[in-house]
Structure 1
Amino acid sequence: MRFLILGASAGGGLPQWNCGCRNCVDARNRKIPCSGQSSLAVSLDGQTWSILNASPDIRQQMLDNPQMHPRSLRDTPVTSVLLTNGDIDHIAGLLSLREQTPFSLFATSEILDVLSENRIFDAVNREKVTRHPVALAQDFDLQPGLSARLFAVPGKVPLFMEGNDVRTDLIGEQTVGVRLTGNGKVAYYVPGCADVTDAVLKQLSDADRIFFDGTLWDDDEMIRSGTGIKTGRRMGHIPISGPDGSIVRLQGLRAAKTFIHINNTNPILQPDSPERAFVEQSGWDIAHDGQEISA
Structure 2
Amino acid sequence: MLRVIVLGAAAGGGVPQWNCGCAICRAARERPELQSTQSSLAFSNNGRNWFLINAAPELRQQVTSTPQLHPTSGELRHTPIAGVILTNGEVDAVAGLLSMREGSPFNLYAHQRVLAILKANSIFNVLAEKNVPRQAIDIDLSFEPALADGAPSGLAVLPFAVPGKSAWYLEGEIHPGGDVEEDGDTIGLRIEDKASGQYFFFVAACARVTPELAQRLDGAPLVFFDGTVWRDDEMIVAGLGVKTGQRMGHLSMSGDDGAIAMLADCGIAQKVFLHINNSNPALLHDSAERASLQNAGWQMAHDGMEITL
TM over 0.5: yes
Structure 1: gaps of 5 or more residues: none
Aligned to 1:178: 189
Q: How many corresponding residue pairs?
A: 292
Q: CA deviation at 1:207?
A: 1.7
Which of 29-38 and 239-248 deviates more?
A: 29-38
Deviation string, structure 1 residues 84-112 (Cα, Å, up to 9, x no partner): 00000000000110110000000111110
Q: Give the counterpart of 2:305 among 285, 291, 295.
A: 291
Aligned to 2:29: 28
Aligned to 2:280: 266
Structure 2: how far apart are the matches of 1:154 and 1:164?
Answer: 20
Task: Give the aligned residue type for 1:189.
Answer: F
Contact 1:110 1:174 in 2 (8 A): yes
Aligned to 2:131: 128
Structure 2: how far apart are the matches of 1:266 and 1:163?
Answer: 28
Contact 1:192 1:237 in 2 (8 A): yes
Aligned to 2:245: 232
Contact 1:186 1:206 in 2 (8 A): no
The 3-state SS of whatever aligns with 2:304 is coil
1:278 paired to 2:281: no
Contact 2:34 2:284 in 1 (8 A): no
Q: Give the counterpart of 2:76 among 64, 73, 76.
A: 73
1:249 paired to 2:249: no
The 3-state SS of whatever aligns with 2:144 is strand
- Could you state the TM-score of these two structures normalised by the residue count of structure 2? 0.92
Aligned to 1:161: 170
Structure 1: how far apart are the matches of 2:291 and 2:14?
Answer: 22
Aligned to 2:118: 115
Structure 2: how far apart are the matches of 1:290 and 1:276?
Answer: 19
- RMSD (CA atoms): 1.5
Structure 2: gaps of 5 or more residues: 147-152, 175-180
Q: CA deviation at 1:10?
A: 0.2
Structure 1: how far apart are the matches of 2:203 and 2:41?
Answer: 11
Task: Give the aligned residue type for 1:82.
Answer: I
1:152 paired to 2:161: yes
Structure 2: how far apart are the matches of 1:207 and 1:92?
Answer: 30
The 3-state SS of whatever aligns with 1:178 is strand
Deviation string, structure 1 residues 213-269 (Cα, Å, up to 9, x no partner): 000000000000011100000000000000010000001122211000000111111
The 3-state SS of whatever aligns with 1:23 is helix
Query: Within 5 A, what are the aligned runs for 1:30-49?
Result: 30=31, 32-49=33-50
Query: Within 5 A, what are the aligned runs for 1:198-213?
Result: 198-213=211-226
Q: Give the counterpart of 1:102 among 87, 105, 123.
A: 105
Q: CA deviation at 1:208?
A: 1.2
Q: Give the counterpart of 1:218 among 194, 206, 231.
A: 231
The 3-state SS of whatever aligns with 1:18 is coil
The 3-state SS of whatever aligns with 1:20 is coil
Residues 266, 171 of structure 1: CA spacing in aligned structure 2 closer, same or farther, 3 A cutoff?
Answer: farther
Q: CA deviation at 1:164?
A: 8.3
Aligned to 2:149: none
The 3-state SS of whatever aligns with 1:140 is coil
